[in-house]
A and B are shown apart, each in its own frame.
Chain A
Amino acid sequence: MERNIAEINEVVQNATIHARGNSLKHRKKRDPTRPAARWITEARVGRERGTALAVVLSTIGCAHARSDSGGCTMCSYLLDGVEESPTPEQILSQFRLAMAELESKSAPLSIKIYTSGSFLDPDEIPPIARSEILRIIAEDKRIREVVLESRPEYINDQVLSGVRSILGDRIIEIGMGLESSSDTVRSVCINKNFDLNAFKIALKTAKNHNIGIRAYVLLKPPLLSERDALLDATKTIQEAKALGVTTVSLNPVNVQKDTLVEKLWSKGRYRPPWLWSVLEVLRNAGSGTDRWMKIVCDPVAGGKQRGAHNCGKCDTGIVEAIRQFSISQDSTVLQNHTCECISQWKHVLKHEDFALVVHR
């Protein structure tokens, strides 16, 4: 069976590479001195309400996506990257531009640094640039929380002790795409290319430096039925909690350009999750007694065809409730939603498992 799974993974990998095609050649030319994106949101910082800055640095992008393994089935972040690796100076100028957004904001602040890959990968962000960025943060007393992103293979004692020593006693979280706690789902449906063990080791290393882990949990990778997906995400959150992650970020799949997901979706062989499933997973996750782990969810393209959606009538209210929950952690906002389409969703849960035909 293990051999079959490996072979299945190989087919998925090839299909993923194929779906990407030569889209990379058509990447937009970007100014290497400006970040790919930056935005400010209201957010929970520690136990208070505050402001968060998110910045997506333009880099050459995720090494896994650049490699022969083809990247993940749902991810086209690589398209946000630039063709040639920016110099450390250019990266710093990207970061400073983003920081300017915070000028007028007051404490507490949170900073999230995304790179369409791994912030801790020295090929993406040269160590000099990394330390310099962290130093800029360290000089700003308003900033209480820092969130970085990295695949587990770049997380080690040396790198983390560097990060910790610069940032002092700030709350630090590293976002890692756990996606699923099942190695089968993570490899076969996502092509993530690391196993649960790698995640656990990274988590332990981070803990030793008092650095938290924000686990990204994927809701509904391709090749799963709606209920497979719902159960897998629920179980993943439970296990992530048991492993001691500090935050779970639930990510309902949205259909991104030039991905395997998009290819399947365009042929009616994939449908993004129902918002009912998102609600259900969040409710299940909240039902544990352990209140210190944060759960956040921001359904990208929520209510749209390419994102988690329901019938169209009830979508806006549910997406809003999910956002509210992410800020307040108050699970009562997830209760008492209803709509005619709920029975359609219940039908899908049962019928897809049996018929293995994707429903609309």
Chain B
Amino acid sequence: MAEFRVGRGHDGPARVGEYILGPTTYITPLLASSFTSSDTIIAYGALDRDSPLSDKPMLVALPFAGHIDDIPFSKIRESDAVILPSLISFASLSSDASNLVLKYQHEVLSKTTPDLDASRTVIRIPSDADSVLLSKLTEVGPLGAMFSFNGHLGPQDFGAIKTRSRLPLHMMTLAAGRIEPGLIPLLYYTGFDVIDVGYAEESATASERLWKNGSEKIELGKDRRYCSCPACAKLDTAGTKDLQGILLEHNLSIYRSVLSESQEAMKTGRLRWLVESSTHNSPAQASLVRSVNNELYSYIEEFSPTTGPKALPVIGSESYHAPVVQRFRDFVANRYTPPANKSIVVLLPCSAKKPYSDSKSHRRFASTIQSAMFGLESRVAEVILTSPLGLVPRELERIYPAGQYDIPVTGDWDAEEIEIGASALATHLRKFSSSAVVIAHVSGGYLDIVRAVESRIEQSLIYTTPEGRATSRPSLEALKETLEDIKSILNLSGGPRTELEEIVSATADYQFGTGAGNVLVPANAKLKGKPYRMILCSVDGEQVCSFVAESGSLSLTLAGGRLLAPLKRYWVRLEAPKVKGGSVFAVGVQEADFAIRPGDEVFVINRADDVIAVGRSDMSGREMCELTRGRAVSVRHKKE
């Protein structure tokens, strides 16, 4: 018996897990090699050809055979995982060939079970495997899936990642072949659990020392880069015969350090950033990352949490379509509805400090607007233009990632950023009345965005930054006068301050989809609190949700869950009638909304559709359904 347990946490499809072979538990992500083994490196070898490095269970590759009797099964040790056979380069011959690779393994698998437990087997999957055959094969029960990388980072390697994205979630996946250290962050990010470090040895035998990005030929007695690793300290006194051993030790340490960096980045929600940084390793790697971004977006997005680190670096063009960024733009475009009474829309520049309201510039904008409108602030909608999020309605400025993203704020934006901003703005302004007035209180790159949409909007547009800077005294004066003019021309009348309602309602729409705001914040809702701390929302004397400033998001109460239930979004259905304990585990989940992402606020129902708990999801909806282990929801409130 073998087991693979997916653990808690995600940054994209990256995950932690436990690969359990007999008495040994390997923690994933894990390295694999034929020359050394330890707790963090699983050994591999070919059956009957390589003798095991230790007593610990290993990955044993079966040689190709024409008859089942030609495979010396009796030589397989009790707890080893078994990699099914295939022929090198065969799958590349045609699509028929690639299908046959799967069919052949299916046949081997059916002949070996039940003598060999299917869970212990690892199937070899060609880059262009057919989905139907693949799922037939995975249904037989192999727990491992293996992909071969030729290291060119071309179609075959991308194909491997793409095919990996179609695998059932409970399978341990192994990346083998020519894998340079710089590829590890991407492989981990795209869901590989075990990574072959064979290339560390190949390079060492060719006298090459590997680095995080690139390699270096070493000749004893010649100049070389400085390295702080203990192996390289021996290089000064080394003889020719020691060289390969030293280089191997060094190379291996590079793999370990890159993997460790990736693991840490995953835990802190910065793996995406690490992957984006790795695009600079080589043009080939940049194209590979781009292909992953473009073609595997929905796979990556499905496992990208909706909460994240306090500061999320969003630096290069690779970030423009990062899942959290793209998702934010999608949600603002598709879920956000401005309150009906907005007659003036003020466009403002972003600030380096988050949330914007805490920045000096935005405090100035706020006091200018306040003194100009004086009691009629509720008629003004504030929209902050920024890249690459496009735009942020003031009410949503604290939500992830708007409250956390970190960009270089020089204001020079490239053509793509301007187009992203322009299309977001055009979409956004369509949601306001055509009689509203839009004030563009922006300059520089922000101004380019507004100019780009001038012809696409119906409202009248006024620029209030006569000589450039939005925060300069003349600009702020211009803003104040413009607001006052409009106030009198439109003959605006006031109403009670609605800031708290607007924040809670907009956040509800953002988190739970259009309509949720009206449900959680009906006309008779009572709100109290502060936007920068906490807002409590009650309906009919019962609290339904609270807005937590730190995360910019809503936490539901059971009553809130009951109100939302008819919308049929963000629900998790249990087999059991009630929740026991503080968590819902995947094993107990009957079905769940596939729109759920890790970190989402969700409500839990039973078979009778009673709302029995509310809490935060720890995995995506599909994982809750497919995985048989692990925490699905951290429960906040439950029905006793």
- Chain B nearest Cβ from A191, distance in angstroms: 12
Q: From B104-112, B275-283, B449-457, B563-571, give the one contacting chain A.
A: B104-112
- As a 0/1 sequence over residues 59 to 93 of chain B, the CB contacts with chain A under 8 angstroms (1 = contact) are 10101111110000000000000010011111011
Within 8 Å CB of A348, what residues of B? 202
- Please determine whether B67 and A227 come into contact, CB atoms closer than 8 angstroms: no
- Please determine whether B92 and A351 come into contact, CB atoms closer than 8 angstroms: no
Quick check: is A243 within 8 A (CB to CB) of the other chain?
Answer: no
Within 8 Å CB of B94, what residues of A? 11, 14-15
Distance A184 CA – B65 CA, assembled complex (angstroms): 7
Max chain A CB contacts within 10 Å: which of B86, B88, B104? B88
Quick check: is B507 within 8 A (CB to CB) of the other chain?
Answer: no
- Please determine whether B89 and A11 come into contact, CB atoms closer than 8 angstroms: no
- Please determine whether A357 and B149 come into contact, CB atoms closer than 8 angstroms: yes
- Please determine whether A347 and B198 come into contact, CB atoms closer than 8 angstroms: yes
Distance A268 CA – B49 CA, assembled complex (angstroms): 25
Within 8 Å CB of A222, what residues of B? 89
Tell me whether A1 and B67 are in contact in the complex, defined as CB-CB below 8 angstroms, given that A11-B96, A344-B205, A356-B148 are known contacts.
yes
- Please determine whether A350 and B202 come into contact, CB atoms closer than 8 angstroms: no
Distance A214 CA – B86 CA, assembled complex (angstroms): 32
Distance A173 CA – B50 CA, assembled complex (angstroms): 39
Which single member of B86, B205, B206, B207 contacts A356 (CB below 8 Å)? B86
Within 8 Å CB of B201, what residues of A? 347, 351
Tell me whether A7 and B92 are in contact in the complex, defined as CB-CB below 8 angstroms, given that A1-B108, A355-B177, A357-B178 are known contacts.
no
Quick check: is A74 within 8 A (CB to CB) of the other chain?
Answer: no
Which single member of B49, B66, B108 contacts A353 (CB below 8 Å)? B49
Number of interface residues of B (CB under 8 A): 48
Quick check: is A334 within 8 A (CB to CB) of the other chain?
Answer: no
- Chain A nearest Cβ from B6, distance in angstroms: 25
Find the A residue at minimum CB distance from B196. Answer: A355
Q: In A330-357, which residues have CB < 8 Å from any B CB? A: 340-341, 343-344, 346-348, 350-357
- Please determine whether B97 and A224 come into contact, CB atoms closer than 8 angstroms: no
- Please determine whether B88 and A225 come into contact, CB atoms closer than 8 angstroms: yes
Quick check: is A298 within 8 A (CB to CB) of the other chain?
Answer: no
Quick check: is A201 within 8 A (CB to CB) of the other chain?
Answer: no
Distance A268 CA – B244 CA, assembled complex (angstroms): 26
Distance A228 CA – B202 CA, assembled complex (angstroms): 19
Find the A residue at minimum CB distance from B47. Answer: A353
Tell me whether A223 and B89 are in contact in the complex, defined as CB-CB below 8 angstroms, given that A1-B111, A228-B64, A351-B198 are known contacts.
yes
- Please determine whether A228 and B63 come into contact, CB atoms closer than 8 angstroms: yes
- Chain A nearest Cβ from B37, distance in angstroms: 13
Within 8 Å CB of B176, what residues of A? 354-357
Max chain A CB contacts within 10 Å: which of B44, B64, B68? B64
Quick check: is B231 within 8 A (CB to CB) of the other chain?
Answer: no
Within 8 Å CB of A346, what residues of B? 205
- Chain B nearest Cβ from A230, distance in angstroms: 10
Q: In A199-249, which residues have CB < 8 Å from any B CB? A: 222-225, 227-228, 231
- Please determine whether B49 and A267 come into contact, CB atoms closer than 8 angstroms: no
Within 8 Å CB of B149, what residues of A? 357
- Please determine whether A344 and B89 come into contact, CB atoms closer than 8 angstroms: no
- Please determine whether B61 and A267 come into contact, CB atoms closer than 8 angstroms: no
- Chain A nearest Cβ from B50, distance in angstroms: 6
Distance A4 CA – B151 CA, assembled complex (angstroms): 30
- As a 0/1 sequence over residues 148 to 169 of chain B, the CB contacts with chain A under 8 angstroms (1 = contact) are 1111100000000000000000
Within 8 Å CB of B66, what residues of A? 1-2, 5, 182-185, 188
Quick check: is A264 within 8 A (CB to CB) of the other chain?
Answer: yes
Distance A350 CA – B196 CA, assembled complex (angstroms): 13
Within 8 Å CB of B44, what residues of A? 354
Distance A159 CA – B202 CA, assembled complex (angstroms): 53
- Please determine whether A358 and B88 come into contact, CB atoms closer than 8 angstroms: yes
Within 8 Å CB of B65, what residues of A? 184
- Chain A nearest Cβ from B65, distance in angstroms: 7
Quick check: is B212 within 8 A (CB to CB) of the other chain?
Answer: no
Which single member of A5, A11, A270 contacts B97 (CB below 8 Å)? A11
Distance A354 CA – B34 CA, assembled complex (angstroms): 9
Tell me whether A351 and B202 are in contact in the complex, defined as CB-CB below 8 angstroms, given that A223-B90, A227-B46 are known contacts.
yes
- Chain B nearest Cβ from A169, distance in angstroms: 42
Quick check: is A306 within 8 A (CB to CB) of the other chain?
Answer: no
Which single member of A185, A267, A347 contacts B92 (CB below 8 Å)? A267
Distance A264 CA – B87 CA, assembled complex (angstroms): 13
Distance A269 CA – B152 CA, assembled complex (angstroms): 12
Which single member of B103, B177, B196 contacts A4 (CB below 8 Å)? B103
Quick check: is A359 within 8 A (CB to CB) of the other chain?
Answer: yes
- Please determine whether A269 and B92 come into contact, CB atoms closer than 8 angstroms: yes
- Please determine whether A357 and B177 come into contact, CB atoms closer than 8 angstroms: yes
Find the B residue at minimum CB distance from A267. Answer: B92
Tell me whether A270 and B89 are in contact in the complex, defined as CB-CB below 8 angstroms, given that A1-B68, A228-B63, A359-B202 are known contacts.
yes
Q: In A16-55, which residues have CB < 8 Å from any B CB? A: none
Within 8 Å CB of A65, what residues of B? none
Distance A107 CA – B216 CA, assembled complex (angstroms): 59
- Please determine whether A350 and B93 come into contact, CB atoms closer than 8 angstroms: no
Tell me whether A15 and B93 are in contact in the complex, defined as CB-CB below 8 angstroms, given that A1-B68, A227-B49 are known contacts.
yes
Quick check: is B313 within 8 A (CB to CB) of the other chain?
Answer: no
Within 8 Å CB of B111, what residues of A? 1
- Please determine whether B244 and A343 come into contact, CB atoms closer than 8 angstroms: yes
Q: In A304-332, which residues have CB < 8 Å from any B CB? A: none
Quick check: is B597 within 8 A (CB to CB) of the other chain?
Answer: no
Quick check: is A12 within 8 A (CB to CB) of the other chain?
Answer: yes
Find the B residue at minimum CB distance from A268. Answer: B150
Distance A223 CA – B198 CA, assembled complex (angstroms): 20
Max chain B CB contacts within 10 Å: which of A222, A347, A358? A347
Distance A348 CA – B205 CA, assembled complex (angstroms): 10
Tell me whether A350 and B100 are in contact in the complex, defined as CB-CB below 8 angstroms, given that A269-B92, A357-B150, A357-B177 are known contacts.
no
Find the A residue at minimum CB distance from B59. Answer: A354
- Chain A nearest Cβ from B180, distance in angstroms: 13
- Contacts A340-B205, A358-B88 known; list 9 others, CB within 8 Å: A12-B93, A223-B88, A224-B64, A228-B64, A264-B89, A350-B46, A353-B45, A353-B63, A354-B83
11 A-B pairs whose Cβ atoms sit less than 8 Å apart in the complex: A1-B68, A1-B107, A12-B90, A184-B66, A268-B150, A351-B34, A351-B201, A353-B45, A354-B46, A357-B88, A357-B176
